[in-house]
Amino acid sequence: MATVTLTDITKIYDGGVKAVDKANIIINDREFVVFVGPSGCGKSTTLRMIAGLEDITEGELRIDDKLVNDVPPKDRDIAMVFQNYALYPHMTVYDNMAFGLKIRKFPKDEIDQRVREAAKILDIEELLERKPKALSGGQRQRVAVGRAIVRKPKVFLFDEPLSNLDAKLRVQMRAEISGLHNRLKATMIYVTHDQVEALTMADKIVVMKLGLIQQIGGPLELYNEP
Ligand code: ADP
Ligand code: ADP
């Protein structure tokens, strides 16, 4: 179970930019919610606040019934996949995937089992001993997703995960991430500026503009309007 609730969430950066203005959203357990909108509208900032990577200026963030505004990122039951993959270049694929579990003091055999299971799901078992620089863009993104999967979080966050991939791979990875959502039965929150991605992947779409939520609805509701 993981419901994520934003109540009047506001972010004002040092210097005064109001990036998010009183956002109210309920993301239900196991829902796939996509945030869309033009560059600079506040999508990333919203996601980063949910991850705990950015302080919340005002408002309340809850995971299930727990207020988490002041809970550090590593203590939130959340894993995030970044646009630039954010892999450690000096570590192998295996170690990149294992790292988040190591710092949380998981036993070695549990780590090994989880890494191999995730590698199997993502079809990267052959790549475990490679370093990131010896991988293609699509393979790197799979590793980044793998690093999130091994944690078995209740909530996955994706920040424009496919925007560095070519068009063909993007279509393929969309389907793979949707497949993962069905398989893992987790809550997924996904940020993109690509309306097609939103349309094809989302249960619910949140449209943002200039820090404000303009609309929330299902793909059909939002895009079949006359
Ligand atoms: P999006 O993800 O939709 O492109 P962002 O959340 O990155 O939008 O940015 C929203 C607004 O906040 C923009 O005006 C951006 O310039 C500003 N912003 C983002 N990060 C920072 C920061 N660290 N410091 C100051 N302003 C920021
Ligand atoms: P995105 O569009 O995916 O948010 P950006 O290239 O806008 O990516 O931002 C990259 C990083 O720079 C993010 O960590 C964001 O918070 C930060 N950033 C964005 N805009 C500003 C800004 N105006 N001032 C300082 N940092 C910013």
Instruction: Say what the pLDDT of residue 225 is.
Output: 60
Residue 33 vs residues 70, 100, 160, 198, 218: alpha-carbon distances, Å = 23, 25, 13, 9, 9
Query: Quick one: average pLDDT of 196-201?
Result: 93
Residue 15 Cα: closest atom of ligand 1: 25
pLDDT digits (tens, 9 = 90+) for 161-186: 998 888 888 998 999 999 999 999 89
Query: Whole-prediction pTM value?
Result: 0.88
Residue 39 Cα: closest atom of ligand 1: 4
Main-chain phi, psi angles of 220, to 5 degrees: -70, -40
Residue nearest to atom 4 of ligand 2 (CA): 44
Ligand 2 is surrounded, with C-beta below 6 A, by 39, 44, 83, 160
Q: Which is higher by pLDDT, 225 or 156?
A: 156
Q: Tell me how far apart the alpha carbons of residues 122 and 137 are, in angstroms, rounded to a whole number.
A: 14
- Is residue 226's pLDDT more than 70? no
From the CA of 159, how far away is ligand 1's center (Å)?
A: 13
- In which element (H, E) is residue 94 found? helix 93-102
Place of tokens 């940020």: 191
Instruction: Say what the pLDDT of residue 163 is.
Output: 87
Main-chain phi, psi angles of 210, to 5 degrees: 50, 45
Pairing between strand 32-36 and 187-191? parallel
Q: Tell me how far apart the alpha carbons of residues 206 and 218 are, in angstroms, rounded to a whole number.
A: 9
Residue nearest to atom 19 of ligand 2 (CA): 40
Residue 15 Cα: closest atom of ligand 2: 24
